[in-house]
Amino acid sequence: LGANKLRAALTMIGITIGVFSVISVMTAIGALQSSIESGISFLGSNIFQFAKYPANVNVGGEIKKKYQNRRNITYREALHYAKLMEDNAREICLKSFGHEIKAQAVYNGVKTTPSLLIVGTNRSFLTANAYTLGYGRNLNDEDVELSRRVIVVGKMIEKRLFPHETPIGKVIRVSGHTYTIVGVLAEKGTSFGQSQDDVCIMPITRFFEDYGEAKRTVNIATQAFSTETYNQTLDKGISAMRIARGLRADQENDFEIYSNDSLKSAFTSVAGIVRIGAFVVSFIALLAAGIGIMNIMLVSVTERTKEIGVRKSIGARRSSIESGISFLGSNIFQFAKYPANVNVGGEIKKKYQNRRNITYREALHYAKLMEGNAREICLKSFGHEIKAQAVYNGVKTTPSLLIVGTNRSFLTANAYTLGYGRNLNDEDVELSRRVIVVGKMIEKRLFPHETPIGKVIRVSGHTYTIVGVLAEKGTSFGQSQDDVCIMPITRFFEDYGEAKRTVNIATQAFSTETYNQTLDKGISAMRIARGLRADQENDFEIYSNDSLKSAFTSVAGIVRIGAFVVSFIALLAAGIGIMNIMLVSVTERTKEIGVRKSIGARSRDVLRQFLTEAVFISEAGGILGIVLGIIAGDFLAVWLKVDVIFPYGWAIAGLLVCSAIGIGFGLYPAYRASNLDPIEALRYE
């Protein structure tokens, strides 16, 4: 090592970068989740909010465009809502934001940055948005009624404009208008890197007079009296909002509803996926660094052949994971005991273990109440714990079948199609018939050369007649969806017990247009079926494919950025490996360089030779990586039964990046080789 200090140092850097990439990314993911949990708490406790746009960490871009043509929530509608909800809520905050104003506050020639957020609001803003008053006073009802020129400023404004005096009573100019400061907010910090202390709030009436009302929308935050009355208040709030907006009974909601809990739940449900993705990408980064170190050590072995013998073997392995979450059909929502989650179990399941099961009697009551209000209502109970195995004429399936007790709506509700035979029908359920519809995997295993229709199979000690076979569906999250068998829910309960089982209820609306209306009716019907009082919160979960997809979409940007950063680190480690190899190559070929220079080779010829070699190594690795990546990706696409593609853009970008790495990291070794003294080089041995 003493003789090759530079090489040793670069080798250590390669190791450092590899380990750093793993530790930093995994730490960042943990910190990110913590940040998300705290950062999205921009509403106070027991608060829900109505808005024109959906809640999102980054409200803008495509999400904003999608809802741009939706009617604004006007101040008149907001006042109507507040009147209807009088005495039904602890606080009602009306607020309108001046995001586009680029406001700047000025006092005695001193200015803040032109990035202040002006909010027109009322006295409830602090409670509704989890702010506290530092000193001075809050806005009051009289300020709003009289449209006073008063303002409450954030901590950042105080620090910038009044470092040595109190701002209370001072008059500042904000975007050409003057306001008297009456209060200062306590410091709140940042959320997703955005300061929450560069805000100034004023009476909403004054805000509209100074900055216009016509094109603005109002957000309405409502605080329930307690956690116990939250759901009751939410139901009343939705009804009041529909009345204030003038919606007919057959029109869906044209506003969004959200709270801190709904956002946190969305992020929590994908936390596991984010961690897995980060771990896989980090592992690849470490692998790249390791290969760089292996390269330098292999070259070192060649250099020291007289000292040691050479014996080596090299191998590599890579894997990919892809999954889908569309386990419900279209326009469908589901009620269940447990929340929707990619991996239902573990801590999530334990948390809800003591919640009452949804009984079959309650499910039937719900179905009766929803009669005529939905296209399909599927009742289903799963036998996850049974470890079922099907047997026919001594041939057995694997003991991993999923038995489902259900009704005729299972196929529609769960995006299955019937291959052949018949589906379950209402009579099967009423008479508790011993009939069964099996998945494609069971057919392939037990009936490879004959039709299974009419055959009697034994499943977990009970006999059933096969009446239908499901079309092949493939896998979801690596789990086959073709090792399922469905039977009448009444027969399922008779054979496997009902007492400790819960029923999931999937409801399909008649159309996308009636979805929200059907959901509202469904929630009311479910509460009645469960016997909940008006002051009790829902003791069941509600979810759909859209809610899960939305959760994944909301973190897609974060995952992409993380993958890009770690991939960059991996390429950096590989580049250091190339530099190591070329430096050793210069040392090994010192005499060759001397000979070339002595017979007329110029320094630039040597420089070009070594740069070409560096680029060749980098491009060779890049081409191999592209080929293997495309093969692996398309193999995965075939497995997932999706279109096979060739990513031309990414392939070209990969080659360009590899060329840049070869040139960038090969330049110093090439420069060093080109500047060797030919006489000293010829004497080297």
Q: What is the DSSP string of 461-520?
A: TEEEEEEEEEPP--EETTEESSSEEEEEHHHHHHHH-STT---EEEEE-SSSTTHHHHHH
Could you identify the residue written with the tokens 């009419």? 454
When comparing pLDDT for 340 and 138, which is higher?
138
- Judged against a pLDDT cut of 80, whether residue 612 lies above it is answered with yes
| Lowest model confidence (mean pLDDT) among 181-190, 257-266, 363-372 | 257-266
Residue (of 198, 117, 112, 116) closest to 161 by Cα position: 112
When comparing pLDDT for 568 and 636, which is higher?
568
Partners of 256 in the β-ladder:
51
d(Cα 499, Cα 504) in Å, to the nearest integer?
A: 15
When comparing pLDDT for 442 and 256, which is higher?
442
Give the amino acid at 577.
G
- φ, ψ of residue 268 to 5 degrees: the values are -60, -35
User: Rg (Cα) of the chain, in Å, rounded?
Assistant: 33
When comparing pLDDT for 407 and 235, which is higher?
407
342-356: buried (b, 16+ CB within 10 Å) or exposed (e) per residue?
Answer: beeeeebeeeeeeee
DSSP 420-474: EE----HHHHHHT--EEEE-HHHHHHH-SSS--TT-EEEETTEEEEEEEEEPP--
Highest mean pLDDT among 113-117, 231-235, 329-333, 422-426: 422-426
- pLDDT, position 429: 95
When comparing pLDDT for 640 and 253, which is higher?
253
Highest mean pLDDT among 142-146, 298-302, 500-504: 142-146
Where does the pLDDT of residue 405 fall: very low under 50, low under 70, confident under 90, or very high at 90 and above? very high
3-state DSSP call for residue 623?
A: helix
The tokens for 405 are 């007790």
Whole-Å CA distances, 498 to 246, 336, 360, 409, 540: 46, 16, 8, 20, 19
- φ, ψ of residue 174 to 5 degrees: the values are -125, 115
- pLDDT, position 22: 47
The tokens for 390 are 């099907």
- pLDDT, position 287: 57
- Judged against a pLDDT cut of 80, whether residue 311 lies above it is answered with no
Where does the pLDDT of residue 11 fall: very low under 50, low under 70, confident under 90, or very high at 90 and above? very low
Residue (of 30, 37, 29) closest to 57 by Cα position: 37
Phi-psi map region of 148: left, alpha, beta (phi>0 left; psi -120 to 50 alpha): beta
Do 287 and 439 meet the contact criterion of CB atoms below 8 Å apart? no
- Judged against a pLDDT cut of 70, whether residue 339 lies above it is answered with yes
- pLDDT, position 310: 30
Helix (H) or strand (E) holding 391: strand 390-392
When comparing pLDDT for 562 and 622, which is higher?
622
- pLDDT, position 19: 46
As a whole number, mean pLDDT of residues 646-673 equals 77
d(Cα 330, Cα 512) in Å, to the nearest integer?
A: 9
d(Cα 655, Cα 311) in Å, to the nearest integer?
A: 33
- pLDDT, position 281: 58
Give the amino acid at 266.
A
- pLDDT, position 309: 36
- pLDDT, position 88: 92
| Lowest model confidence (mean pLDDT) among 30-39, 165-174, 183-192 | 30-39
Helix (H) or strand (E) holding 331: none
- pLDDT, position 64: 58
Do 402 and 480 meet the contact criterion of CB atoms below 8 Å apart? no
Q: How far is CA 372 from the centre of its chain?
A: 36
- pLDDT, position 338: 82
Tens-place pLDDT, residues 112-140: 988 899 999 999 999 888 889 999 999 99
- Judged against a pLDDT cut of 70, whether residue 179 lies above it is answered with yes
Helix (H) or strand (E) holding 290: helix 271-303
- Judged against a pLDDT cut of 70, whether residue 328 lies above it is answered with no
Tens-place pLDDT, residues 263-281: 555 555 555 555 565 556 5
- Judged against a pLDDT cut of 70, whether residue 8 lies above it is answered with no
Helix (H) or strand (E) holding 402: strand 402-406
The answer for residues whose C-beta is within 8 angstroms of residue 587's C-beta and 6 or more apart is 4, 303
Phi-psi map region of 396: left, alpha, beta (phi>0 left; psi -120 to 50 alpha): beta
Residue (of 554, 474, 5) closest to 262 by Cα position: 554
- Judged against a pLDDT cut of 80, whether residue 82 lies above it is answered with yes
Could you identify the residue written with the tokens 């070699």? 613
| Lowest model confidence (mean pLDDT) among 62-71, 259-268, 332-341 | 259-268
As a whole number, mean pLDDT of residues 498-515 equals 89
Strands 402-406 and 484-488: parallel
| Lowest model confidence (mean pLDDT) among 200-214, 292-306, 645-659 | 292-306
- pLDDT, position 601: 77
- pLDDT, position 5: 53
Where does the pLDDT of residue 355 fall: very low under 50, low under 70, confident under 90, or very high at 90 and above? confident
pTM summary value: 0.45
- Judged against a pLDDT cut of 70, whether residue 59 lies above it is answered with no
- Judged against a pLDDT cut of 90, whether residue 525 lies above it is answered with yes
Q: Where do the H-state alpha helices sit in 125-270? A: 125-128, 141-145, 155-161, 204-211, 230-245, 260-268
| Lowest model confidence (mean pLDDT) among 80-94, 191-205, 281-295, 508-522 | 281-295
Residue (of 489, 350, 393, 390) closest to 433 by Cα position: 489
Q: How many CA atoms lie within 13 A of 124 on its CB side?
A: 21
As a whole number, mean pLDDT of residues 616-640 equals 71
Give the amino acid at 179.
Y
Do 554 and 266 meet the contact criterion of CB atoms below 8 Å apart? yes
- Judged against a pLDDT cut of 60, whether residue 464 lies above it is answered with yes
Where does the pLDDT of residue 430 fall: very low under 50, low under 70, confident under 90, or very high at 90 and above? very high
- Judged against a pLDDT cut of 60, whether residue 662 lies above it is answered with yes
- φ, ψ of residue 142 to 5 degrees: the values are -65, -35
Do 44 and 130 meet the contact criterion of CB atoms below 8 Å apart? yes
- Judged against a pLDDT cut of 60, whether residue 317 lies above it is answered with no
Where does the pLDDT of residue 667 fall: very low under 50, low under 70, confident under 90, or very high at 90 and above? confident
Do 544 and 333 meet the contact criterion of CB atoms below 8 Å apart? yes
- Judged against a pLDDT cut of 70, whether residue 297 lies above it is answered with no
Do 649 and 562 meet the contact criterion of CB atoms below 8 Å apart? no
- Judged against a pLDDT cut of 90, whether residue 318 lies above it is answered with no
As a whole number, mean pLDDT of residues 187-204 equals 83
| Lowest model confidence (mean pLDDT) among 366-370, 525-529, 604-608, 649-653 | 649-653
What's the mean pLDDT when you consider all of the chain? 78
| Lowest model confidence (mean pLDDT) among 261-275, 335-349, 396-410 | 261-275
